[in-house]
Amino acid sequence: MIFTDQLNRKIELASPPKRIISLVPSQTELLYDLGLRDEVVGITKFCIHPNEWFRTKTRVGGTKKYDFEKIKALQPDLIIGNKEENEKEQIELLMKDYNVWMSDIYTLKDALQMIAAMGALLGKNEAATNLKLGIESQFYQFQHTRVSDLRTAYFIWRKPYMVAGHDTFINEMMKLCGFENIFANLDSRYPEVSREELLEAKPELILLSSEPYPFKEQHILEFRELVPDAKVMVVDGELFSWYGSRLLKAPAYFSGLTAAAGSPE
């Protein structure tokens, strides 16, 4: 059968793949939740969920740079990647020798389409459909209960300060929460911002992500000193940026977050 990925590339598979390498943490977790087990033979060092796979599966490198000899030894019949998370030149090298299916995700709709496509690609249509319906239902309920409209900055890095900007999946999740991304107007998708720019933007809410920079409670004071009038919170970065099966957990988390963000200190 011929399958089309989210870059509109076509790959041909005679049967569901039996030796899969995933180069994307959120999609690795998705493969597990779709019911795959021995079929997944390789992951990255950042594929921390599920823990049993992180402990036992062969790690072929990070999300940007791979051990090509390890990949060759695993003899994959399918490699799963993502346009943003994986490095273009490395992926193009893999495409010369292997079937590579690429996702390209900016919105919840893109993520749901990817989940459905994974189901078809892997012979797991029923599991993918059930997961997709569950995510849609929970986000629908959340959208009809959330009450928040705060000017918000979402920080992903420290030294230099970097935030999530426009055309990012994080920005999509912020919109769904009702948070107005005050840096969505900047040119870069992940812009650096100065202390002066942060003050000028007048955020009411500052969210410090647990990844990729591991912001913790100790960093809250730093930002409170920068912007005394803003509420500062550390948030679960996986629930803002992972676009696989972890989306099932996101609406409940966002519901609690929006309630806390809108409450007095």
pLDDT by residue (tens digit) across 37-58?
A: 999 999 999 999 999 999 999 9
Question: What is the H or E stretch that residue 69 is in?
Answer: helix 68-74
Q: Which pLDDT does position 165 carry in this prediction? A: 98
230 shares a domain with 186: yes
How far apart CA 48 and CA 25 sit, in angstroms, is: 7
Q: Which pLDDT does position 265 carry in this prediction? A: 61
167 shares a domain with 108: no
Q: Could you tell me the CA-to-CA distances from 243 to 37, 103, 141, 184 in Å, in that order?
A: 20, 10, 19, 20
SS3 label, residue 64:
coil
- Angle (CA) 237-238-241 rounded to 5° is 85
Sequence length of the chain is 265
Domain assignment of residue 211, given as a range: 151-261
* Maximum separation of any 2 CA atoms in the chain, in Å: 60
> Which of 77, 112, 139 is the last residue before a domain boundary?
139
How far apart CA 147 and CA 264 sit, in angstroms, is: 14
156 shares a domain with 135: no
> Which of 116, 139, 162 is the last residue before a domain boundary?
139
Residue 188 tokens read as 């870069």
Residues 6+ apart with CB under 8 A from 260: 233
Q: Which pLDDT does position 264 carry in this prediction? A: 63
Q: Which residues pair with 102 in a beta bridge?
A: 81
Provide block-wise average pLDDT over 10 residues at a time, the chain (265 residues): 97 95 98 98 98 97 97 98 97 97 98 98 97 97 80 97 98 95 96 96 97 96 95 98 98 94 73
Q: Which pLDDT does position 149 carry in this prediction? A: 84
What b/e sequence results for 215-224 when a residue is b if at least 16 CB atoms lie within 10 Å of its CB, and e otherwise?
A: beeebbeebe
**Considering its fold, how many domains does the chain have in total?**
2
217 shares a domain with 115: no
Residue 253, domain CATH:
3.40.50.1980
Q: Which pLDDT does position 231 carry in this prediction? A: 96
Q: Which pLDDT does position 262 carry in this prediction? A: 80
145 within some domain: no
163 shares a domain with 36: no
Residue 98 tokens read as 């292997």
53 shares a domain with 180: no
Q: Which pLDDT does position 127 carry in this prediction? A: 98
How far apart CA 168 and CA 118 sit, in angstroms, is: 21
62 shares a domain with 188: no
State the angle between helix axes of 250-261 and 125-143 in degrees (0 to 180), rounded to the nearest 10. Answer: 20
Q: Which pLDDT does position 164 carry in this prediction? A: 98
Nearest to 27 by CA among 75, 87, 86: 86
Q: Which pLDDT does position 148 carry in this prediction? A: 67
118 shares a domain with 72: yes
